[in-house]
Amino acid sequence: MREVSVTRLSAAIRDAVILANTVMTPDIQRRLEEAQNQETGPVARAVIADLLENAAIAQAEHIPMCQDTGLVVVYLTFGQDVHWVDGEVEAAINDGIRQGYREGYLRFSVVADPLRRVNTRDNTPAIVHYRLTPGEGVHVDILPKGFGAENRSRLAMLKPSDGQAGAEQFILESVRVAGPQACPPFIVGVGIGGDFERVAELAKEALLEPLDTPNPDPYLADMESRLTDAINAMGIGPQGFGGRTTLLGLRIKVGATHIAGLPVAVNMSCHSTRHLAFDL
Amino acid sequence: MGQVSPRAALRLPLDAARVARLRAGDQVALTGPVLGARDAAHQRMRDLLAAGKPLPFEIAGETIYYVGPSPAQPGQVIGSAGPTSSYRMDAFTPELLALGLRGMIGKGRRSRDVTRAIQSHQAVYFGAVGGAGALLARRIRKQEPVAWDDLGAEAVVRLWLKAFPAVVINDVYGGDLYDNVMGADGAGAVDE
């Protein structure tokens, strides 16, 4: 058994939310640089140049890339032989977020209730997912999620007979209706399978995958590649001003489902998708 | 490889003559005062107008920037300050255009009610680059509170822009850059 203090978790999350919001991930940076070389239209080129310059300014001046510094989603994966000490795990996670959002001058974007809408003024609570593994390790993924893209996400309970073609049609339609307000070029997380709840989780988990690592399942890798080409052929382009770069990455995650079901979820995310992972 | 096209300088506040020179797809650099306001501030404007009460600021001739900036660090004018999605303000917008609102800056499509009102009231809708909040913050030279401080990031503020990059989306002639790119009922249509 290994003892881990929740104060370490708290401090690491404080640092991680600041870093995630101010430094673009290297995989997105590389994709934008590639896109810059592929685009020929002046407006598309101007937008991508702005996004790269934006990332450079944010990093140099320690200010958020995007003013929507997100609702924080935390994935805490820990070994079943870990014993948490010095306090409550979830309270520690929220303490880290509270400190990080205050000290990092990040925006408070959370309301305590969806209808009465009073801002909590510290960007808590986070959405926390716990996953158990064998052993004594602790792995944390944080995903501060902006809502420009989140609002354009969709979920469908398809029939098994809709098959791969039906799933692909729903994914393409979802990206098309997301449109310019979801801040293209996009990163798209797709979940297929599970149930109503699990499929949305799969779609969000797909956003944690690095863009430059191919899907280990060749069937899904092939599907991702065809969807990527079809989305880029839509012509939406950076910010919806037209161009070849509508998508920076698309990842599919699948899960076991019921004999009667084919759930599909499309979690839209933007060029400023913020993800940071660390071990404790 | 293509060139990054130049952006035409455009002074604020706007008037009918300046707006009439703009066409969907034009790249501009905006200099002058705007009001920063988003969801909660628009709800309050509607509530006051519905109650027959005056707004605490003048709307006629204004340009509203749909923005909820991150907090300014010591020594900074403003934090990250990119556009938020405009369609969430669509329900409030025709009424403000009728009061003389002349310009809007945001991102993404507007409803047909809004684009029609933009045309009939001789106004303009600009798109700014969503997610470029650090870059755009450098093009904001001054910030002052105007109303409703209690709304935090959603309070109404006066912002002075300096060569702020934007693209004309909807012009007074019915032009729509998104329609040109994606078709009238194409990507991101917001009418249900």
Residue B1, domain member (yes or no): no
Residue of A43, A63, A272 lying closest to B131 (CB–CB): A272
Q: How far apart are CA B171 and CA B175, in angstroms?
A: 5
In a domain, B189, yes or no: no
Q: Which helix (H) or strand (E) holds A174?
A: helix A163-178
State whether B108 and A64 contact (CB < 8 Å). no
Q: For residue B182, what pLDDT band results from cuts at 50, 70 and 90?
A: confident
Is the residue at B178 inside a domain? no
Tokens of A48: 């991508």
- Structure confidence at residue B188 (pLDDT): 79
Q: Which helix (H) or strand (E) holds B93?
A: helix B93-98
Strands B27-36 and B63-65: parallel
pLDDT of residue B183: 81
Closest CA to B157 of B79, B59, B92, B65: B65
pLDDT at A22: 98
Strands A276-279 and A138-145, sheet pairing: antiparallel
Q: How far is CA A64 from CA A104, A277, B33, B141, in A?
A: 9, 18, 24, 18
Of B2, B27, B79, the CB nearest to A64: B79
* Global pTM value: 0.94
Inside any domain, residue B94: yes
**CATH (domain of B93):** 3.20.130.10
Q: In whole angstroms, give the CA distance from residue A191 to residue A141.
A: 18
The whole-angstrom separation of Cα A133 and Cα A136 is: 8
- The C-alpha of B95 sits at a distance from chain A's nearest C-alpha, in angstroms, of 22
Mark which residues 22-61 of B lie under 8 Å from A by CB. 25, 27, 40
Secondary structure class of B38 (helix, strand, coil)? coil
H/E segment holding residue A139: strand A138-145
The fraction of chain B above a pLDDT of 90, given in percent, is: 88
pLDDT at res. B189: 76
Q: Give pLDDT, residue A72.
A: 98
Q: How confident is the model at residue B64 (pLDDT cuts 50, 70, 90)?
A: very high
Adjacent-strand bridge partners of A72: A144
Determine, for residues B72 and A176 on separate chains, whether the beta-carbon distance falls below 8 Å.
no
Cα separation, B52 vs B72, in Å, equals 35
Partners of B29 on chain A (C-beta within 8 Å) are none
Residue A31, both tokens: 């994709």
As a whole number of angstroms, the distance between CA A241 and CA A161 comes to 37
Q: Which residues of B touch A239 (CB under 8 A)?
A: 107, 127, 129-130, 167
Closest approach of chain A CAs to the CA of B160, in angstroms? 18
Q: CB–CB of B177 and A241 under 8 A? A: yes
DSSP-derived secondary structure for A190-218: EEEEE-HHHHHHHHHHHTTS-TTS--SSH
The pLDDT value given to residue A43: 86
Mutation site for A-interface testing, chosen from B78, B129, B167 by largest number of A Cβ within 10 Å? B129
A274: nearest CA in chain B?
B131
Question: CA B30, CA A66: separation in Å to the nearest integer?
Answer: 20
- Cα–Cα distance for residue pair A222/B26, rounded to 1 Å: 39
Q: Which residue of A has its CA nearest to B151?
A: A119
Q: How many helices (H) and strands (E) does chain A have?
A: 8, 10
- Nearest-Cα distance to chain A for B49, in Å, is 21
How many residues make up chain A in this entry?
280
Mutation site for A-interface testing, chosen from B1, B139, B170, B181 by largest number of A Cβ within 10 Å? B181
B35 is in which domain, residue-wise? 8-173
- Residue A248: its chain B contacts at CB < 8 A? none
Residue of A nearest to B3 (CA): A42
* Residue B162, phi then psi, degrees to nearest 5: -135, 110
For chain A, which residues score pLDDT lower than 70? none
Q: Give chain A's domains with CATH numbers.
A: 2-21+65-145 (3.30.360), 148-273 (3.30.1330)
Selection from B117, B86, B119 nearest residue B104 by Cα: B86
The CA distance from B159 to B33, in Å, is 6
- B108 and chain A in contact, CB less than 8 A: yes
* Exposed e or buried b per residue across B156-166, where buried means at least 16 C-beta atoms within 10 angstroms of its C-beta: bbbbbbeebbb
A136 to chain B, closest Cα gap in Å: 38
Chain A residue with CA closest to B39: the answer is A117
Please state the domain count of chain B: 1
For residue A20, CA distances in Å to A100, B94, B99, B121 come to 11, 38, 42, 43
Length of chain B: 192
Is the pLDDT score of B5 beyond 60? no
Interface pTM, i.e. ipTM? 0.91
In a domain, B191, yes or no: no
Say whether pLDDT at B138 is over 50: yes
Contact call for residues B106 and B128 (beta carbons, < 8 A): yes
Mean residue pLDDT of chain B comes to 93
Give the pLDDT confidence score for residue B3 in this predicted structure. Answer: 43
pLDDT confidence of residue B2: 38
Nearest CA in chain B to A102: B71
The structure tokens listed for A183 are 């801040």
Of B27, B136, B186, the CB nearest to A46: B27
Closest CA relative to residue A272, chosen from A154, A112, A148:
A148
Taking an 8 Å cut-off on Cβ atoms, the answer to whether A177 and B188 are in contact is yes
Q: Answer whether A144's CB lies under 8 Å from A100's CB.
A: no
Asked if the structure places residue B181 within a domain, the reply is no
Residue A52 is given by DSSP the state H
Distance CA(A273)–CA(A251), nearest Å, equals: 13
Optimal mutation site among A57, A67, A109, A187, interface B, most CBs of chain B within 10 A = A67
- The residue type found at A196 is F
Residue B192 lies in a domain: no
Q: Is residue B116 part of a domain?
A: yes
Contacts of A108 in chain B (CB under 8 A): 152-153
Name the minimum distance, in Å, from the CA of A79 to any CA of chain B.
37
Cis preceding linkage at B13, omega within 30 = yes
- Give the whole-angstrom CA distance, residue B169 versus residue B115: 10
The pLDDT assigned to A128 comes to: 98
Q: Are A183 and A247 in contact (CB under 8 A)?
A: no
Cα–Cα distance, A143 to A123 (Å, whole number): 13
Q: What residues of B are in contact with residue A37 (Cβ under 8 Å)? A: 1
pLDDT at residue A42, as a whole number: 86
Q: Are A21 and A106 in contact (CB under 8 A)?
A: yes
- Pairing mode, strands A71-79 and A127-133: parallel
